[in-house]
């Protein structure tokens, strides 16, 4: 049997049904880049890069996939061309997160409200200049009020989400466009951000010019 010619879905079916080691070997080989890549990136966010650890977590991912007679695979209902690869990423991510969350929680004593995700999250937001929390809260509220008026009702929620993902969470227009369900290309996301930013920036400048009395500005653009 030539396992390499099978589609990912066919290969998974063959592995689950036949249990043939040769089919599984093709499975391991084919999905390793996506599993290993996800494990390595997740591990690095926790400040680790030891090859041994990465290999261990890759292996653990494979074993989790075939646990309980391949329950993960048997219960999976693919809904798109790359869905199988998405599944592999989520399992690898979960395995790597389990490793670190368990380990860090244990090291820190894990009080009732302590979440050992900080290291992971900090990796995404590191190196960004911050503003005082109180000022930030006020600004977030002011902007949100402006965003409620800027787009057509049909696109308002989506536009608002795009704006916050970009400015509040520092995501790139490309990354936002790649979120399933956003429904815009990178150019479309950029265009939405520029439009919203112009509006918000002008309104914020207006608010500042108007001062505490709330006078409208003659210099508003």
Partner 1 sequence: MEPGTGHLTAEEISGLIGFDGPGALPEERANHARTCDICRRIIAMHQEEDSRLRRLAGGPRGTPGLRCPVLDEWASLAAGLADPQRRNELLAHASQCDHCGAVLHAVMEDFSEDLTGAESQSLEALASAKPEWQRAVARRMAGASRTRPTYIRTWLPRAAAVLLAAGAGWLAWNQMARNQRTVPDPALQLAMAFTEQRPFDYRIPGAAHASVRQERGAGSSFGRPQALRDAVSTIGAEREKNPEAVKWLELEARAEMLQSDPQSAIDTLNHALEQKPDDPDLWADLGMAYALRAGDPNRRADYGQAIEFLNRSLQKKPNSPEVAFNLALVYEKMNFNDLAIEEWQQYLNLDTAGAWREEAQDHLAKLEQKKKSGSKP
Minimum CB separation of residue 196 from partner 1 in Å reads 10
* Residue whose pair of structure tokens reads 């989790």 in the numeric block: 64
Q: Which residues have C-beta within 8 Å of that of residue 77, sequence separation ≥ 6?
A: none
> Smallest Cα–Cα separation from 195: which of 127, 147, 154?
147
When asked if residue 189 is in the footprint of partner 1 (CB under 8 A), the reply is: no
When asked if residue 211 is in the footprint of partner 1 (CB under 8 A), the reply is: no
Minimum CB separation of residue 96 from partner 1 in Å reads 10
When asked if residue 215 is in the footprint of partner 1 (CB under 8 A), the reply is: no
When asked if residue 47 is in the footprint of partner 1 (CB under 8 A), the reply is: no
Q: Which residue lies nearer to partner 1 by CB, 7 or 49?
A: 49
Q: If you ran DSSP here, which 8-state letter would residue 5 be given?
A: G
CA–CA dist 51, 63 (Å, integer)? 18
Q: Which position among 87, 146, 184, 192 is part of the footprint of partner 1 (CB under 8 A)?
A: 87
CA 176 → CA 92, 146, 159, 193, distances in Å? 22, 21, 11, 11
Tokens describing residue 185: 């290309």
Residue 16 · residue 8 · CB < 8 Å: no
> Smallest Cα–Cα separation from 1: which of 66, 16, 63, 15?
15
When asked if residue 24 is in the footprint of partner 1 (CB under 8 A), the reply is: yes
When asked if residue 59 is in the footprint of partner 1 (CB under 8 A), the reply is: yes
Minimum CB separation of residue 124 from partner 1 in Å reads 4
> Smallest Cα–Cα separation from 116: which of 128, 134, 104?
104
When asked if residue 150 is in the footprint of partner 1 (CB under 8 A), the reply is: no
When asked if residue 6 is in the footprint of partner 1 (CB under 8 A), the reply is: no
Q: Which position among 13, 48, 150, 182 is part of the footprint of partner 1 (CB under 8 A)?
A: 182
Pick out residues in 152-181 that bind partner 1 (CB under 8 A).
157, 160-161, 164-165, 167-171, 175, 178-181
Instruction: Mark 106-145 with x for binding to partner 1 (rule: CB under 8 A) and - for no binding.
Output: x--xxxxxxxxxx-xxxxxx--xxxx-x--x--xx--x--
> Smallest Cα–Cα separation from 37: which of 100, 85, 109, 107?
85
* Residue whose pair of structure tokens reads 């057509």 in the numeric block: 152
Q: Which position among 54, 146, 151, 192 is part of the footprint of partner 1 (CB under 8 A)?
A: 54
């Amino acid at each position: 049997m030539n396992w390499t010619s099978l589609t990912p879905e066919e290969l998974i079916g063959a592995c689950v049904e036949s249990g043939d080691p040769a089919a599984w070997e093709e499975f391991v080989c084919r999905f390793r880049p996506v599993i290993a890549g996800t494990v390595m990136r997740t591990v690095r966010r926790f400040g680790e890069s030891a090859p041994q650890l990465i290999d261990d977590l890759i292996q653990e991912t494979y074993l989790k996939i075939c646990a309980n007679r391949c329950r993960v695979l048997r219960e999976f209902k693919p809904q798109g061309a790359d869905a199988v690869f998405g599944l592999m990423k989520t399992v690898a991510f979960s395995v790597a997160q389990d490793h670190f969350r368990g380990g860090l929680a244990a090291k820190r004593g894990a009080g009732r409200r302590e979440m050992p995700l900080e290291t992971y999250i900090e990796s995404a937001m590191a190196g960004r200049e911050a503003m005082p929390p109180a000022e930030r809260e006020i600004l977030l509220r002011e902007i949100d009020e402006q965003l409620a008026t800027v787009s057509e009702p049909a696109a308002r929620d989506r536009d608002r989400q795009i704006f916050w993902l970009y400015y509040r969470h520092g995501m790139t227009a490309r990354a936002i466009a790649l979120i399933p369900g956003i429904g815009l290309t990178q150019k479309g996301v950029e265009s939405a951000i520029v439009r919203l930013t112009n509006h918000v920036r002008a309104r914020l400048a207006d608010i500042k010019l108007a001062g505490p009395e709330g006078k409208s500005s003659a210099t508003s653009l």
